[in-house]
Structure formats: C-alpha cells, structure tokens
C-alpha cells in the first residue's frame, strides 16, 4: 500500500426506476435484448469497502433501522426478500472477481447498510455491486471508468453499469441497450418527482423474464427521451411503458393492488419499475409526491415514499 492510499471508501448507492422498458428480442443465451430508460432516485444503500491484509472477501449486510421495521412488520407473509448471506451477496462476487481480474493481493471487507427494498425492481443489489467495484477501484488506484471494470460490471449483472454514472460528468438518467449493460446518458430538463410503493412481496427477475413476451412491433424510447429533455411531468407520464409489467402482475397479485391504489391518486401517470414488485407514480412536485406517499402509506398496501431524481455520486475517501 502507498502512504497516501485511502484505507477505506464509502459510497451512497442509489436505487433506480425504469421509466421506459421495451423488449426487442430473445437472445440465444436466454437473456433479452431491450431498450430501457432508467433514472437514479434518492433512496440509498450505504456501502463501505476497506482493504484487508487477509487475502479474502467478507461482506456484512443489514437493513438500516427504518427499513428493518418495514421488513419486521411483514415477516411471515411471503415478504420482502431476505438479505443474502455473505457468500451469496452480489457484492462478494463483485469484489472476488475484481481481485482476480486486476490481480489484487489484498482482500476486502465490505459493510452494506440497506434501505433499498430487495426484489423490488429498484436495482438494489446491482447498485451495491457497482458501489463496491467503484470503491475497490479507488482503493487500488484504478480509474473508475476503466473499460475492464465496466466489462466486469456488465458480466456480473445487466443493471450494474448504469450505477457507474458517466465519465462525462453528473448523470441521473440513461438509456440502456444490449441486455441493459450498454449505457448512454440522457439529459433531463429538471428534477423529477415520484411516489414509490413497494408491496410486501418481492418478485424474482428471472421468473418475470421467463413469463414475458417480445412484441412483434416494439415501441421506441424516442418520445420518452424527448419528454425527458423537456422536463415536463405530464409529457414524461404519458410516455411511461414497461413490457415486463404484465408478467410481473401475473407473478405477484400485489402489483395490481398497488397500481389501482396509485391510480386513485392525482399522479400524472404510473408504472411498474423493472421486473417489480415496486410501482411508482410521476408527480408534479415534491409537495404533491409527499402528500400522495403519506396517503398511500395509510392504505396498507406496503411501504410508500416520495422520491426524486439524483445524480450518481462519486465514492468518498476515508484515510482512517
Ligand atoms: C428488469 C431490469 O431491472 C430492468 O432494468 C433488468 O433487466 C434486470 O437486470 P438484473 O437484475 O441486473 O438482471 P441479471 O442479474 O443480469 O439477470 C437476471 C435474470 O433476468 C433475465 N434477464 C435479465 C436481463 C435481460 N436483459 N434479459 C433477461 O432475460 C435472465 O433470466 C437472468 O438470468
Ligand atoms: N447486496 C444485495 N442487496 C440485496 N439483495 C441482494 C444483494 N446481493 C444479492 N441479493 C439477492 O438478489 C435478489 C434481488 O436483488 P435486487 O433487490 O437488486 O432485485 P431487484 O430489485 O429486482 O433488482 P433489478 O431491478 O436489478 O432486477 C434478492 O433476492 C437477494 O437475495
């Protein structure tokens, strides 16, 4: 280790919402070619990664108190997905692969404080893995936008490259193609406001993709991209699309319950995010989003919160 090398790095890893998701083809490897527009939102996990003299990877992962209370309330129903043991955590795989790929002799210790619901279509595990890779890169003085790192991220999970942000500067939204791993930043005309509801049942992404159907004439994301540049909530809301919403609704009955509850509120439009089970509504401003979240929380259909778009942040150094 060099004298001025940081010993540990921390990063807030945001959740994402899919504003648009269209399936283009089913590939020979079983994955789907798609076009999706994602936006990062201010619901964060916090990950700390430190170098270790012992040449292995250990990861601790727990809910922060607020989310722990939500998980506890629904224990016994099929509930919010359980957090994986260290060896099954995507962060463990990411850091192990990082050590191999970059021939790092040191080990890593990571701790994750989670608030992003698991199995919700909000990209929690992917965001944690991206944060871990970016933190490890900083600890080992490797450029965060090194092509080998992005390649590794894409191999580990389709959603992970989005959470690297853009080498060109602050990024909060992007269009993802390929199986989701090819990222092009998208400009948005202003902060976007949402209400997000996560029902007390998680869904498996693989299961939803197993049930999906590729349309014969896929829709284009062009109108959504134009609406985002304009930054007007009503236009963005009118272009929401998620081709996984049908198979997600068929996988969990909770999704229809949540969508009907959101439909009765003054949101500008609503949709399922990713493969579900969380759903969101587009709101005209922060005050309306908070009021709707408060009312939906009282409706007993899960956990509701207001959110807004954020830029994907850089890791911060900790020399201690
Ligand atoms: C639903 C989304 O969250 C939308 O952003 C992503 O497409 C899913 O991304 P992810 O959770 O990172 O998914 P991965 O870990 O790469 O894949 C999980 C499973 O989903 C299916 N999968 C995923 C991505 C894709 N383009 N086609 C697929 O068919 C595959 O069966 C795969 O085994
Ligand atoms: N760090 C992690 N945080 C949460 N879940 C994890 C993590 N690592 C592995 N997992 C496993 O991954 C599964 C789903 O992860 P995640 O919460 O990211 O799904 P998702 O919200 O559907 O994401 P996506 O939108 O990317 O499909 C969980 O069932 C969990 O057991």
Query: Is the C-beta atom of 120 inside 6 A of ligand 2?
Result: yes
pLDDT digits (tens, 9 = 90+) for 143-198: 998 999 999 999 999 999 999 999 888 999 999 999 999 999 999 999 999 999 99
**Which uninterrupted H or E stretch holds 93?**
helix 90-101
Q: In this predicted structure, what is the pLDDT of residue 80?
A: 58
Residue 113, classed as helix, strand or coil, is strand
Q: What is the mean pLDDT of residues 78-90?
A: 78
pLDDT digits (tens, 9 = 90+) for 90-137: 999 999 999 999 999 999 999 999 999 999 999 999 999 999 999 999
> Is 52 annotated as ligand-binding?
no
Alpha carbon distance 79, 256 (integer Å): 17
Q: In this predicted structure, what is the pLDDT of residue 65?
A: 76
Query: Is the C-beta atom of 122 inside 6 A of ligand 2?
Result: yes
Is 191 a known active-site residue? Answer: no
Among the options 16, 45, 114, 128, which is catalytic? Answer: 16
> Is 28 annotated as ligand-binding?
no
Query: What sign results for the dihedral spanned by CA atoms 111, 7, 129, 162?
Result: positive
Q: In this predicted structure, what is the pLDDT of residue 36?
A: 98
The residue length of the chain stands at: 320
Check whether 71 has a pLDDT greater than 90: no
Q: Beta strands 107-114 and 173-177: pairing type?
A: unpaired
Check whether 81 has a pLDDT greater than 70: no
For residue 151, give every residue at least 6 positions away whose Cβ sits within 8 Å of its Cβ, in sequence order, or none.
none
Q: In this predicted structure, what is the pLDDT of residue 78?
A: 46
Check whether 5 has a pLDDT greater than 70: no
> Is 120 annotated as ligand-binding?
yes
Q: What is the mean pLDDT of residues 294-304?
A: 94
Q: Report the topology of domain 8-186.
A: Ribosomal Protein S5; domain 2 (3.30.230)
Q: In this predicted structure, what is the pLDDT of residue 64?
A: 86
**193-308 maps to which CATH number?**
3.30.70.890
Residue 182, classed as helix, strand or coil, is strand
In contact, 195 and 306? CB cutoff 8 Å: yes
Q: In this predicted structure, what is the pLDDT of residue 83?
A: 85
Among the options 143, 159, 184, 256, which is catalytic? Answer: 159
Q: Whose CA is nearest to atom 5 of ligand 2?
A: 125
pLDDT digits (tens, 9 = 90+) for 211-256: 999 999 999 999 999 999 999 999 999 999 999 999 999 999 999 9
For residue 190, give every residue at least 6 positions away whose Cβ sits within 8 Å of its Cβ, in sequence order, or none.
231
Ligand 1 centre to CA of 158 (Å) is 6
- Going by C-alpha positions, the residue among 81, 207, 102, 89 that lies closest to residue 156 is 89
Residue 211, classed as helix, strand or coil, is coil
DSSP string, 137-165: HHHTT--TT-HHHHHHHHHH-TTGGGGG-
The percent of residues in the chain predicted with pLDDT above 70, rounded, is 93
Alpha carbon distance 320, 285 (integer Å): 41
Residue 19 pLDDT grade (very low, low, confident, very high; cuts 50, 70, 90) = very high
Q: Beta strands 316-318 and 107-114: pairing type?
A: unpaired
Ligand 1 centre to CA of 120 (Å) is 13
Name the residue ranges covered by the structural domains of the chain: 8-186, 193-308
Structure tokens at 313: 């942040």
Query: Is the C-beta atom of 305 inside 6 A of ligand 1?
Result: no
Q: In this predicted structure, what is the pLDDT of residue 115?
A: 94
With the most atoms of ligand 2 within 8 angstroms of its CB, the residue from 63, 118, 254, 279 to mutate is: 118
> Is 224 annotated as ligand-binding?
no
Q: Which atom of ligand 2 is nearest to the CA of 82?
A: 31
Q: Which bound ligand lies closest to the C-alpha atom of 160?
A: 1
């Amino acid at each position: 280790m060099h004298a001025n090398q940081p010993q540990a790095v921390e990063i807030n890893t945001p959740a994402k919402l899919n504003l648009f998701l269209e399936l283009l083809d089913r590939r020979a490897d079983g994955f789907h070619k798609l076009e999706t527009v994602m936006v990062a939102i201010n619901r964060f996990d916090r990950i700390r990664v430190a170098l270790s003299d012992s040449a292995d990877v250990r990861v601790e992962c727990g809910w922060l108190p607020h989310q722990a209370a939500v998980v506890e309330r629904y224990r016994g129903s099929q509930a919010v997905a359980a957090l994986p043991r260290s060896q099954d955590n995507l962060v463990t795989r990411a850091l192990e692969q990082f050590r191999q790929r970059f021939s790092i002799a040191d080990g890593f210790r990571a701790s994750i404080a989670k608030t992003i619901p698991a199995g919700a279509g909000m990209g929690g595990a992917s965001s944690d893995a991206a944060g871990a890779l970016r933190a490890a890169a900083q600890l080992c003085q490797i450029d965060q936008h090194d092509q080998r790192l992005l390649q590794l991220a894409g191999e580990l999970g389709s959603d992970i490259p989005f959470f690297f942000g853009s080498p060109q500067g602050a990024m909060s939204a992007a269009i993802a193609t390929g199986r989701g791993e090819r990222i092009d930043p998208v400009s948005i005309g202003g902060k976007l406001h949402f209400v997000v509801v996560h029902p007390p049942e998680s869904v498996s992404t693989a299961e939803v993709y197993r049930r999906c159907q590729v349309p014969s004439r896929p829709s284009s994301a062009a109108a959504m991209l134009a609406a985002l540049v304009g930054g007007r909530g009503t236009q963005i809301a009118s272009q929401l699309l998620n081709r996984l919403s049908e198979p997600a609704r068929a996988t969990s009955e909770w999704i229809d319950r949540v969508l009907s509850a959101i439909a009765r509120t003054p949101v500008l439009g609503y949709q399922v995010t990713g493969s579900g089970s969380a759903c969101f509504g587009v709101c005209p401003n922060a005050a309306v989003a908070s009021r709707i979240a408060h009312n939906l929380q009282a409706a007993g259909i899960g956990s509701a919160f207001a959110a807004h778009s954020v830029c994907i942040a850089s890791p911060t150094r900790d020399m201690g």
